[in-house]
A and B are shown apart, each in its own frame.
Chain A
Amino acid sequence: MNKTFVNIENISKFYGEIKALKNISFSVGEGELFGLIGPDGGGKTSLIRILTTLLKPTEGRAEINGMDIVKDFKKLRKIIGYMPGRFSLYEDLTVEENLKFFATIFNTTIKENYHLIEDIYSQIEPFKNRRAGKLSGGMKQKLALSCALIHKPEILFLDEPTTGIDAVSRVELWEMLKKLKDQNLTIIVSTPYMDEANLCDRVAFMQKGEIMEINPPETIIQEFNEPLYSVKGDDFYHLLLELRKMEITKTAFPFGDSIHLTAYNNINPSELNAMIEERMRIKTETQKISANIEDCFMAKMINTE
């Protein structure tokens, strides 16, 4: 890991009785693409809002590039780029007016930092006289990203940037993030989509205000050591319910057109097929497979519930 850029120590956030964040500590290196992954309500947004100086932590402290998020918030706001989860640009201003406004309040111009956003902005530039409210979801996202980058931030926070946009725009967004990372920008991104974890350097899996694990995605996959099978068959839903009832089954989840099943002990796929057929009189196709990142997270979620 490069030099530490973000350092978080024992951050907690309570909303009255509700503990949104419990004792969070981790650090992010300079130029790292760091993912916060986890289900809704896991505390991702609260953590991002604390780090972007919008919310005060109840306990604990954090530093970004040596600056305290509470004491040095004024200095920090100059180096932070933030893209909130909800589209929050002016819908009644045009694409260009939005970008220009955010450039000028950071005392810069579109021209001066055009090279930073060129890749992204050039895609929406043909529509620069269109009101932001009239853009499609993907284009709004590109505009929001352009606005978050126009002042040349040293760190970029994105809160669920891929929620609610189409698959193509999702892929494009991650490509953009990769490019930005290559320019040594530190990026912290949250997402509820587990498959996106693969695209990060390291991911923190967050659930119920706690961090369950922080590792590079490859490590998470390597550490997965339960026997995993893919089961395909007719009468999908019925099959899923029955599989869950079998003694050997630890977990069973639908995954695309198949069911991913983890077993308590190693078993031959053909043996498993036979077991199912005996039980349900259904022909199934079973394979032993290696885990992908989603399997790992599903297993973790179950283990902690």
Chain B
Amino acid sequence: MRTILYILQKEFIQISRNRLMVGVLFIMPFFQLIILGYAASFEVKNLNVYIIDMDKSSFSRDLISKFSASPYFNIKNSSDNHQKGFEDLEKGVADLVMEIPNNFEKDLVNGQKTNVYLSIDAVNGVKAGLGNAYANMIVKDFSSDIITKKTGQTISLPIGITWSNWYNNLMVYSTFMVPGILVLLVTMVAVFLTAINIVREKEIGTIEQLNVTPIKKHQFIIGKLFPFLLIAFFELSIGLVIAKLVFNLHYEGSLILVYSFTLVYLFAVLGIGLFISTITYTQQQAMFIAWFMFVIFILMSGLFTPIESMPVWAQRLTWFNPIKYFIEFMRMVLLKGSTFPDVKNHFIIIAIYGVVLNTLAVWNYRKVSE
């Protein structure tokens, strides 16, 4: 026990000597939460539209004004010149080109069917899909207006929908993002710093000196992991405060539950850091492997794209992604107010994860080389 305390003391002195790192540890939660929380939004708004109006009638003007009234669209330009419209699409000035054909008004007045043509820049599939859907809604709306005008009676579709948004009723994007970003913060500290810290002893050779001392394997490992456990909790706490003060996040669930789960989660991800450090020899290698894993874990975590929309095999892969469970847990507890029975499985899975990884890492860590 005493030995562990001495190792801890040494670690904390070393961490505090590393000014740059301490600085980053303090700044990181602010940067990540504030920048990502505000900026990383997947709402599609302000799509730039180029309108090719071949008809120039009062009907076509009505349709255009409907588009410009919508928050989703921004009329960038309009003309009756095809080529110009598609040049804008090419240059990326316009995201969407809508063409209103000749005789648009005439056909409608005569009770004939007519079409408007949408050409959408579909490089970003999500944006294109949403743009298409919004445009569809506007055109549909416009069509029923015309029928109303012509027949003098409002028609309504047989099935209507009334809805209410639960858990995030104003559909604020940051409310959805912030719990996930807290997870990133905690994970980065735990995986990266742990892996690098242990490998550093190998790289600068101090591990040789330590290995001839009576320090036991578990003392060394605990001494190495514990500081980052504390730092990760510290990051989580700052993050929660920022979420409350800056993003007005209302915590529905119990913070005790959040901290307990974080403890179990940290046990697992510190194990990842430890494991990486046992298979690498330099900080560079450790960093590279940690990044490789981290990027996959994040992209497959449901932070940015819903797991449900991934192909089945990819969904299976996410079963092995600890970040996924933590993000799910945070959203459930912080936003929905889930209680322990709801997240029991998350606890169990992450605990198993932790036991397996740490066993692997400890087994792989050797004081004597072969």
A residues near B (Cβ < 8 Å) are 49, 52-56, 73-74, 77-78, 80, 82, 84, 86-93, 97, 101-102, 104-107, 131, 147, 151
Contacts and interface: CB of A to CB of B under 8 A. Distances in A.
List 4 tightest A-B contacts by C-beta distance, closest first: A88-B205, A104-B6, A82-B212, A92-B17
Contacts of A73: 368
A56 B370 contact: yes
Contacts of A91: 204
B214 A54 contact: no
A52 B212 CA distance: 7
Contacts of B215: 105
B52 to A, nearest CB: 66
Interface string B196-213: 000000001111111111
Contacts of A89: 206, 209
Given A84-B208, A93-B14, A106 B368 contact: no
A105 B14 contact: no
A105 B6 contact: yes
A147 B209 contact: yes
A54 B210 CA distance: 10
A123 to B, nearest CB: 21
Which DSSP category, helix, strand, loop or mixed, fits chain B's interface? helix
Given A97-B13, A105-B7, A54 B368 contact: yes
A92 B13 CA distance: 9
Contacts of A101: 6, 10
A204 B250 CA distance: 75
B213 A55 contact: no
A82 B209 contact: yes
A90 B10 contact: yes
A75 B212 CA distance: 11
B316 to A, nearest CB: 39
Contacts of B3: 104-105, 107
Contacts of A107: 2-3
A88 B209 contact: yes
A77 B369 contact: no
A18 B210 CA distance: 28
**Residue from B204, B212, B215, B367 with most neighbouring chain A CB atoms (10 Å):** B212
A77 B213 CA distance: 5
Contacts of A55: 368-369
B204 to A, nearest CB: 7
15 contacts: A53-B212, A53-B368, A54-B367, A55-B368, A56-B369, A77-B213, A84-B209, A86-B208, A88-B204, A89-B206, A91-B204, A93-B13, A106-B213, A107-B3, A151-B213
B48 to A, nearest CB: 53
Given A54-B368, A101-B10, 8 more contacts: A56-B370, A84-B205, A104-B2, A105-B3, A105-B7, A105-B214, A105-B215, A107-B3
**Residue from B18, B209, B214, B367 with most neighbouring chain A CB atoms (10 Å):** B209
Contacts of B207: 88
Nearest to B5: A104
Given A73-B368, A88-B204, A90-B14, A54 B212 contact: yes
B282 to A, nearest CB: 14
Contacts of B2: 104, 107
A101 B215 CA distance: 12
A258 B140 CA distance: 103
A35 B361 CA distance: 39
B1 to A, nearest CB: 12
Contacts of A78: 214
